[in-house]
């Protein structure tokens, strides 16, 4: 019993340590969101609840900017849906390993399944067995606490300091996703999709196209699918 308890503690500690670099990497991102939220007219409680309930950096930042710009409700909902839809794909890819687990594990890990936790889920035995489940819970839980702490710091900073967007903290968003995406480029189809998404999103932004992010994502998926089919046919 003592050995089992020690193994669980080790697995928990390792989950926190393995996630620590990513938890620190999103510090400027969380501060940026908290400061943006209060500077765009949200109360401190509303800003904090964004991180506590939604728990999705990209969709949080995009949503508050769209609301602040008086975008239509349809645009806000469609954009949030498209940005968050990748989590549905994450869930599908892990379904075979998580479906045998009790409901409490599936709900908890499903809520904590961010880009960062998914990046640590590549091992073929991930989520199999109690030790690996505790590892994932500790990794995801520590990231959740860190994200909410960085948000709180951003809220305090946003209420007492000038606009933090002038400090270039928004680059943390791009840097984090680049670090997560690049290791996953293992095929020509994936590379084509990534390059298409990057190029299209830049062009749509320059054109001030309101649904540019959605169109860039859809275009990238189409290109990736076509390249994959062409590769299979050759």
| pLDDT greater than 70 at residue 210 | no
Rg (alpha carbons) of the chain, rounded to whole number = 19
Cα–Cα distance list, 216 to 39, 57, 59, 83 (Å): 28, 19, 16, 11
Can you tell me the mean pLDDT for 183-188? Answer: 78
Confidence label for 168 from pLDDT (cuts 50, 70 and 90):
low
Q: Compute the Cα dihedral for 84, 86, 88, 90 and give only its sign.
A: negative
Mean pLDDT of the chain, nearest integer: 83
Report the percentage of the chain scoring pLDDT > 90: 18
Confidence label for 1 from pLDDT (cuts 50, 70 and 90):
low
Separation of alpha carbons 27 and 176, rounded Å = 11
Separation of alpha carbons 109 and 114, rounded Å = 9
SS3 content of the chain, % helix, strand, coil (to 5): 80, 0, 20
Burial status of residue 198 (CB atoms within 10 A of its CB: 0-12, 13-18, 19 or more): middle
> What local confidence, expressed as pLDDT, does residue 146 receive?
95
| pLDDT greater than 70 at residue 233 | no
Q: Between residues 164 and 66, which one has the greater pLDDT?
A: 66
Can you tell me the mean pLDDT for 191-196? Answer: 89
pTM for this entry:
0.76
Note the pLDDT tens digit of each residue in 2-14: 777 788 888 889 9
> What local confidence, expressed as pLDDT, does residue 171 receive?
65
Q: Where are the domains of the chain?
A: 2-182, 185-234
Report the percentage of the chain scoring pLDDT > 70: 86
Note the pLDDT tens digit of each residue in 12-42: 899 899 999 889 888 888 888 888 888 888 8
* Cα dihedral value 217, 218, 224, 229, nearest 10: 170
> What local confidence, expressed as pLDDT, does residue 124 receive?
66
């Amino acid at each position: 019993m003592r050995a089992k308890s020690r193994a669980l503690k080790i697995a928990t500690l390792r989950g926190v340590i393995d996630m620590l670099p990513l938890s620190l990497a999103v510090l400027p991102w969380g501060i940026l969101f908290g400061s943006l939220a209060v500077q765009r007219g949200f109360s401190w409680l509303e800003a904090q609840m964004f991180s506590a309930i939604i728990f999705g950096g990209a969709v949080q930042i995009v949503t508050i900017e769209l609301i602040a710009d008086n975008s239509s409700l349809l645009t806000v909902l469609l954009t949030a849906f498209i940005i968050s839809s990748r989590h549905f794909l994450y869930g599908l890819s892990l379904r075979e390993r998580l479906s045998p687990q009790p409901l409490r594990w599936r709900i908890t890990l499903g809520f904590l399944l961010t880009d960062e936790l998914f990046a640590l889920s590549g091992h073929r035995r991930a989520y199999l067995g109690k030790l690996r489940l505790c590892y994932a819970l500790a990794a995801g839980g520590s990231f959740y606490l860190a994200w909410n702490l960085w948000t709180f710091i951003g809220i305090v900073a946003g209420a007492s300091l000038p606009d933090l967007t002038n400090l270039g903290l928004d680059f943390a968003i791009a840097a984090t996703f680049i670090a997560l995406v690049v290791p996953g480029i293992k095929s020509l189809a994936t590379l084509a999709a990534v390059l298409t998404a990057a190029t299209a999103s830049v062009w749509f932004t320059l054109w001030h196209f309101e649904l540019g992010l959605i169109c860039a994502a859809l275009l990238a998926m189409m290109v990736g699918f076509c390249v994959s089919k062409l590769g299979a046919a050759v």
